[in-house]
Amino acid sequence: MRTFRLIAASFIFAVIFAVSAFAQASAADGKVGLINTLAFDDKEGITKYISALNSLEGEFKQPQTDLNNSITKYQALKKELDTIQTTIQSGGKLPIPESEVQKKAGDLERLGLDIKRKQEDAKAQYQRRYQAIVGPIYQDIMKALQDFTIQKGYAVILDGAKLEEAGILMGFNGKFDITKEFITFYNARPASTATVVKPK
């Protein structure tokens, strides 16, 4: 555990020193900009990226509905069995035959296992489709970001969302936020070779 903490601390300090180095370089060689990548899928974000995410969501809408229905059924059955158990514990009589209670308990266990399997399968399938649909577009965004960095004369552009998530971004002057500028830049670009892979 101590080794892990030391490694984690070393990583954090390495990132901090890297950011510091970037800031020093910017003073001499160019500008530093921050982009909030979480804004890419906002209402006024990157249209191609939003379209890809909507396409992905559409693919998994029915599987998610089916899964939600199974979860609702599981919760209702569990509540019924919990009520029966409470009745027995309070000295009451079984409202249904014991054989039926055992059957319901078996159904609950099978349904729980089925839900777990469906969740795991859906997660794996979602990750595959995300890479196929969103992956190429994300790579195109990164390429455009490099072009933007050079054209606009930036020494470095940092991902503000990642820095904040890591607890590194403690203070920020909003005038260095170039998120909207980059989104406008990207949306104005001609169509690239990045394509959405249709489901088979």
For 55-86, the pLDDT digits (tens) are 999 999 999 999 999 999 999 999 999 999 99
| Whole-number Å distance between alpha carbons of 32 and 150 | 12
Q: State which residues form the domain around 91.
A: 59-112
Predicted TM-score of the model (pTM): 0.69
| Whole-number Å distance between alpha carbons of 76 and 82 | 10
Count the domains in the chain: 1
Residue 85 belongs to a domain:
yes
pLDDT value of residue 29: 58
Residue 170 belongs to a domain:
no
**Scanning the structure block, which residue is given the tokens 């009451």?**
92
Residue 77 belongs to a domain:
yes
| Whole-number Å distance between alpha carbons of 66 and 56 | 17
Residue 83 belongs to a domain:
yes
Residue 195 belongs to a domain:
no
Residue 31 belongs to a domain:
no
Residue 134 belongs to a domain:
no
For 78-114, the pLDDT digits (tens) are 999 999 999 888 888 888 898 999 999 999 999 999 9
Query: Percent of the chain, pLDDT > 70?
Result: 80
